[in-house]
Structure 1
Amino acid sequence: MGSLEPLVASAAGMTVAPLRREDALDICTWRYPAPYDCYDMTDADPEWLLDPASGFHALLSGERLIGFRSFGADGQVPGWEYDDRALDTGGGLRPELVGQGLGHRAISAGLAYGRARFAPRAFRVTVATFNTRALRTVEGLGFQRVGRFDAATDGSGFEVLVRPER
């Protein structure tokens, strides 16, 4: 996914930066209330998060870790036929910040970083069908639904959305 560079992209007061060890350890403690507990990071391995091949980056407000953005396979859910026509991206906010209207800015910062770092033809997101907040946010950023599937792991429903880069 390319070499790590210093802070590359800022948008709306948020910066996407290389993940630090303390960030990875913090992220691995994150627990969300139901039904968002499917996004808990407590089973994540900090070393895996830190591996550049995993595609994880810190989302900062000033020096404070407020979330993460990921690029590549982490954004994929088993059960969909992914291809290389788009760069998969995902992310999360610190649990206590969820539902405060930060999603648009957080995803925008991630897209700016992804655009500068990877120059993809398109971005793709995979969002749990129940997560209407996230679906509304990504659609507001120009993503369009291209399909729906049930995860191979547990049968949960997911929507796949794509946003071409011009």
Structure 2
Amino acid sequence: MTNFSDELYYKRSLVDMTIQPMEMEHAKQICEWQYESPYDLYHWPPWDIMQQDEIEFGDPVLRRMQYASVLNRGQELIGFAQFFPIVGVTRLGLGLHPALCGRGIGTDFTRLITREAIHRAPKNSIDLEVLTWNVRAIRTYERAGFIVDDTYVRQTPEGPAEFHCMVYHSSP
């Protein structure tokens, strides 16, 4: 596993992050990420199950069309993005490597992914969903230019949960 605490390998700067198509090796790595509680609900199933059941980036077509890897300047995987198409909207899904969460890089990470979404579909609005209890993520998204547009309950694998839909307006 990469030691992201070494500043030689990672700096908190947009220029040090790039987006590229998600490779199968990156998808496998993401399935191994382990988040601390209460963020452990963001764990993905094991790679063999993802691939067998063609779940999300386990489906090669969906991976190619909707998913991207975010790499640091050393070409190490630091996160991923999903660009989910809805009529007139690009809905973002994103995940940062667990070792990098809470380290102050989420805003630049989110801005990079948002810029990519604008590049891919410039006429679309951009939104994302976030659990209402995830204050850390909500603050990050607000700093990246998103505002809460709606709040609702929807079903999750753990049961019903309350979400905010946050819409991108502009970079502060």
With the length of structure 1 as denominator, give the TM-score of the two structures.
0.80
Which has the higher mean CA deviation after the structures are superposed, 142-151 or 58-67?
A: 142-151
**What's the counterpart of residue 162 of structure 2?**
157
Q: Verify the 8 A CA contact 2:118 2:124 in the aligned structure 1.
A: no
Deviation at 1:35, TM superposition (A): 0.6
Q: Show the counterpart of 2:41.
A: 38
Assess if the C-alpha contact under 8 Å between 1:11 and 1:112 holds in 2: no
Cα deviation, residue 84, structure 1: 2.4
- Whether contact under 8 Å (1:121, 1:164) holds in the other structure is no
Structure-1 residue corresponding to 2:81: 69
- After TM superposition, the structure 1 = structure 2 runs for residues 49-128 of structure 1, keeping only pairs within 5 Å, are 49=57, 51-54=60-63, 55-62=66-73, 63-72=75-84, 84-128=87-131
Q: What is the identity, as a one-letter code, of the residue corresponding to 1:67?
A: G
> How big is the shift at 1:112?
1.5
Structure showing greater relative contact order (alpha-carbon pairs closer than 8 Å, 6 or more residues apart): 1
What residue ranges of structure 1 are gaps of 5+ in the alignment?
1-9, 74-82
More helix by share: 2
Q: Which residue of 2 aligns with 1:133?
A: 136
How far residue 25 of structure 1 moved from its aligned partner, in angstroms, is 0.7
Quick one: percent identity of the two aligned structures?
Answer: 29
Q: Secondary structure at the match of 1:159?
A: strand
- Alpha-carbon RMSD: 2.2
1:4 aligns with none
Asked if the contact 1:104/1:138 (under 8 Å) is kept, the reply is: yes
- How many matched pairs? 148
Q: Can you give the 5+ residue segments of structure 2 that lack an aligned partner in the other structure?
A: 1-12
Q: Give the TM-score normalised by structure 2.
A: 0.77
Distance in 2 between residues matched to 1:120 and 1:64, nearest whole Å: 31
1:22 has 2:22 as partner? no
SS of the residue corresponding to residue 155 of structure 1 reads strand
